[in-house]
Amino acid sequence: MLPPILFNLFNGLIDTVKLEQTIRTTLAHVATIANCKLIADITDDTVLLQSGLDSLGFAMLVAQLEEDLGIDPFSQMQIAVYPRTFAEFVTIYRQAQQDGNK
């Protein structure tokens, strides 16, 4: 049996992977609805504005994630934050999810 600290770390890792997968799936879904063509390989360093999704498409991504995850990190934040890369976008959602679980 894993010690609690490792167990929590392992669970945290699984949640992060799940979250990133949800965001990727949602990204592909809204790109189809918004009639946008995503680039073939979206990595952590992909600049969001170069991913193929336009600004209205990103609004749809945030809207769909709000429906699915029940969080809108950008409205919860006290200051305006605009993530530049895919990894930054995922981090904002991970942080909001962790804050919500506290």
Instruction: List residues binding another protein (CB under 8 A).
Output: 30, 33-34, 56, 59-60, 62-64, 66-67, 70, 72, 75
Is residue 76 classed as helix, strand or coil in its secondary structure? helix
Q: Which of 48/62 has CB closer to another protein?
A: 62
Query: With 0-12 CB in 10 A as exposed, 13-18 as middle and 19+ as buried, what is 89?
Result: buried
Residue of 47, 43, 41, 95 lying closest to 72 (CA atoms): 95
Is residue 47 classed as helix, strand or coil in its secondary structure? strand
Q: Output the smallest distance, CB 60 to another protein, in A.
A: 5
Q: Which of 34/87 has CB closer to another protein?
A: 34
Q: Output the smallest distance, CB 58 to another protein, in A.
A: 10
Q: Output the smallest distance, CB 5 to another protein, in A.
A: 35
**Tally of residues, the chain:** 102
* Tokens of residue 22, six digits: 């949800």
Q: Which of 17/49 has CB closer to another protein?
A: 49
Q: Output the smallest distance, CB 35 to another protein, in A.
A: 8
